[in-house]
Amino acid sequence: MARVYNFSAGPAVLPESVLQEAANEMLDYKGTGMSVMEMSHRSAAFKGIIEEAEADLRSLMGIPENYKVLFLQGGATLEFAGIPMNLLNPENPKADYIVSGGWSKKAFKEAKLYGDIRLAASSEDENFTYVPNVDEVEFREDADYVYICENETVYGNKYHKLPNTGKVPLVADVSSCFLSEPIDVTKYGVIYGGVQKNIGPAGVVIVIVREDLIREDVLPFTPNIMRWKTQADAGSMSNTPPCYGIYICGKVFKWIKAQGGLEGMQKINQEKAAVLYDYLDSTDFYQAPVRKEDRSIMNVPFVTGNADLDAEFVAGAKARGIENIKGHRSVGGMRASIYNAMPKAGVEALVEYMKEFETSHR
Amino acid sequence: MARVYNFSAGPAVLPESVLQEAANEMLDYKGTGMSVMEMSHRSAAFKGIIEEAEADLRSLMGIPENYKVLFLQGGATLEFAGIPMNLLNPENPKADYIVSGGWSKKAFKEAKLYGDIRLAASSEDENFTYVPNVDEVEFREDADYVYICENETVYGNKYHKLPNTGKVPLVADVSSCFLSEPIDVTKYGVIYGGVQKNIGPAGVVIVIVREDLIREDVLPFTPNIMRWKTQADAGSMSNTPPCYGIYICGKVFKWIKAQGGLEGMQKINQEKAAVLYDYLDSTDFYQAPVRKEDRSIMNVPFVTGNADLDAEFVAGAKARGIENIKGHRSVGGMRASIYNAMPKAGVEALVEYMKEFETSHR
């Protein structure tokens, strides 16, 4: 078995040790005589899995007791609707959105189905190569929330400073930077993200929400299982949760702990990103379109400026076991997603190839 | 490794060969060098998986070309809202529901958020021990659809004859009888179900819908990814689908083909159910509460009529590797869910234990 270096933006690389454990436990989870896929979600074994996953996540992120942790279905995309449905005041629904890439733009568009949704700032004027200056953005004081996508997967930008929204709760989609570095949960009203980038298999979205924001009087047409109140009261089990995905997430939480928690993870991630960015900054053969101060350490787009050359780069990479390095069509060129589980050796192999390619194609 | 006989109502037993294949492929799916969990949903490998799954399901069920097959998230429970959102005419939203157990009752309650929803018939008067006589139920001719739950998991009843709804489309939740027997798809407007009973791991719901019922003018607040039009146009990939779950479903479809398709599966299921029902009918120590003509061959509730004895039965079963035999709290006693993947030997072991228990406790 030859594993490749998988730079996919999501679903994405998982720790090999996690996959190995899952394979070993596939027919018999810890002497239960069954797979986690076959387990009643009401069983003691599965309750142990979901409760341990939540406890590990709480300890990793330092989630205060007045925040609920929900493991839900539908991905971040269903929460593009779930967030306004749950947070907007039905009497006077208002929210402000900052758009810094494709995902926040989609979330903004979806929210407009549900109320008076204002575009507070956007960086679309320069194809999302930067994050709007949060010190200059004005918010409505009576907005129900302010929305950001903290790390834009496609464009590779990241908020390195959060907007100060005063008393208005900040809602952040962290799908592509989830658990990549320490976080101060108290600065947010809601932190949420799909797990299929940094945590687990597609099909689970984690919502971390401050208790006082969980409304009973949600928009009246909100499906029952999309109501955070319903799911918080039921421990995420108002209906059958995506059990197997949650089980894998739990294993990844333990793996992150073994890397030194979020501090340890951040150090590793910064080192990996530096290998790539230092090289990109040392050459003019490749260009990294995002402003230096807004760079993501998870998603790194780069281009040669020549579409044919880009295509040749991608094909050559594949031949060396460097997979899914092609950029999103909105940016073109290449994109290296270097999530938590991407080993440093993978980034080094990529940079080595980039150098050789530069030498032979300059 | 000792596998148990798992009579869970869902998530439930899966074919051992499917689990073994999944374990073998966990770190490297067919030479791709990655797990299916790590694969971009836009990759050629995953496209192959989802397209083959759909083709196999179409061939198993004989799904005509004018029906779309969607693989979605949120379970049947999210579709309790998705169905009215997608099928109701926004100008005059009307639907008729038959309630024959807990799941159709929940679906009925959820639908009432969205329009003029009428209870056409119910068997709650006798604790859902029967299915309403479909020949006597009247439907509104201008209803957008008529809704049934074809097999009620908790109560163990099943429609052995479908209501004749004329031109009004019939919508059926088949979660707990999915692929258990041949089906005439053309009799339905929509067939849907969560996969975690007969097909795969929790986190996937399959919706099979006649094309002409897919509205563009759905209820205006319908989240974008809950719109069947959106998902049909995107091949179920408007957002990241639950890839790993779909992969397991695909393996189960192939396993069912190897059992002789739905005809073969039905024969095996009838034989298994007969082992249990024949014994139940031969003794008065246990009682099966459902009317004979409405019995499910998937979920078989039975009781001794003595709660202490029931509890002793359940405990003794567990000691022999007969797991999850406890009945749902709404019925009490025991329930054996004998889905496709439950081997006949499992049912025989259960009946053997039931006989011994009867002898020692009569």
Q: pLDDT tens digits for A77-122?
A: 999 999 999 999 999 999 999 999 999 999 999 999 999 999 999 9
User: Quick check: is B197 catalytic?
Assistant: yes
pLDDT of residue B1: 55
Q: Phi then psi for A347, rounded to 5 degrees?
A: -65, -40
pLDDT of residue B331: 87
pLDDT of residue B2: 85
Residues 95-154 of B with CB under 8 A from A: 110, 113-114
CA distance A195 to chain B (A): 11
pLDDT of residue A1: 55
A204 interaction partners in chain B (CB closer than 8 Å): 203
Give the end-to-end CA distance of chain A in Å, rounded to a whole number: 35
Q: How far is CA A26 from the centre of its chain?
A: 27
Q: 3-state class of B11 per DSSP?
A: coil
Residue contact A80–B223, C-beta within 8 A = yes
Contact B132, B88 (CB under 8 A): no
Beta bridge partners of A206: A71, A193
Residue contact A202–B74, C-beta within 8 A = no
A6 interaction partners in chain B (CB closer than 8 Å): 33-34, 38
Two tokens at A124?
Answer: 């679309």
Query: Could you tell me which residues come within 8 angstroms of residue B180 by beta carbon, excluding any fewer than 6 positions away?
Result: B151, B198, B262, B265, B266, B269, B297, B298, B339, B340
Residue A77 is nearest to which of B4, B16, B225, comparing CB atoms? B225
Q: Band of the pLDDT at A330, cuts 50, 70, 90? A: confident
Closest chain B CA to residue A337? B40
Cβ contacts from A onto B, under 8 A: 224
Whether cis (ω within 30° of 0) applies to the bond prior to B11 is yes
CA distance A362 to chain B (A): 30
DSSP symbols for A126-142: GTT-S---TTT----TT
Kindly name the residue from A68, A105, A158, A197 that is annotated as catalytic.
A197
Average pLDDT over residues B312-338: 95
B248 interaction partners in chain A (CB closer than 8 Å): 37
Residue B37 is nearest to which of A14, A77, A223, comparing CB atoms? A14
Asked if pLDDT for residue A23 goes beyond 90, the answer is yes
Is A330 near chain B, with CB under 8 Å? no
Residue contact A43–B8, C-beta within 8 A = yes
Burial of A212: CB neighbours in 10 Å, binned 0-12, 13-18, 19+:
exposed
Residue contact A194–B240, C-beta within 8 A = yes
- B153-169 residue pLDDT tens: 999 999 999 999 999 99
Kindly name the residue from B96, B144, B173, B294 that is annotated as catalytic.
B173
Q: 3-state class of A96 per DSSP?
A: strand
Residue contact B11–A40, C-beta within 8 A = yes
Residue contact A41–B11, C-beta within 8 A = yes
pLDDT of residue B168: 98
Asked if pLDDT for residue A310 goes beyond 70, the answer is yes
CA distance B136 to chain A (A): 32
- B12-60 residue pLDDT tens: 999 999 999 999 999 999 999 999 999 999 999 999 999 999 999 999 9
A203 interaction partners in chain B (CB closer than 8 Å): 73, 203-204, 241-245
Is B193 near chain A, with CB under 8 Å? no
B197 interaction partners in chain A (CB closer than 8 Å): none
pLDDT of residue A362: 87
Contact A1, B31 (CB under 8 A): no
B242 interaction partners in chain A (CB closer than 8 Å): 73, 201-203, 242, 245
Query: Could you tell me which residues come within 8 angstroms of residue A130 by beta carbon, excluding any fewer than 6 positions away?
Result: A100, A123, A157, A290, A291, A294
CA distance B43 to chain A (A): 8
Average pLDDT over residues A54-82: 98
Residue A11 is nearest to which of B33, B243, B245, comparing CB atoms? B243
The mean pLDDT value of chain B amounts to 97
Residue contact A10–B78, C-beta within 8 A = no
Is A88 near chain B, with CB under 8 Å? no
Closest chain A CA to residue B194? A240
- A195-250 residue pLDDT tens: 999 999 999 999 999 999 999 999 999 999 999 999 999 999 999 999 999 999 99
Is B81 near chain A, with CB under 8 Å? yes
Alpha carbons B33 and B35: distance in angstroms, whole number:
7
Q: Band of the pLDDT at B330, cuts 50, 70, 90? A: confident
Residues 265-324 of A with CB under 8 A from B: 321, 323-324
B80 interaction partners in chain A (CB closer than 8 Å): 223-224
Two tokens at B58?
Answer: 């179409």
pLDDT of residue A2: 85
Residues 37-76 of B with CB under 8 A from A: 37-41, 43, 73-76
Is A223 near chain B, with CB under 8 Å? yes
Residue contact B39–A8, C-beta within 8 A = yes
Kindly name the residue from A56, A173, A294, A310 that is annotated as catalytic.
A173
Q: How far is CA A275 from the centre of its chain?
A: 22
User: Quick check: is B103 catalytic?
Assistant: yes
The residue of B244, B249, B252, B324 whose CB has the most chain A CBs within 10 angstroms, and thus the best one to mutate to test that interface, is B244
Average pLDDT over residues B132-151: 97
How many C-beta atoms surround the C-beta of residue B8 within 10 A? 24
Beta bridge partners of B230: none
Alpha carbons A67 and A321: distance in angstroms, whole number:
42
Determine if the pTM surpasses 0.95.
Answer: yes
pLDDT of residue A353: 98
pLDDT of residue A331: 86
Kindly name the residue from B68, B105, B158, B197 that is annotated as catalytic.
B197
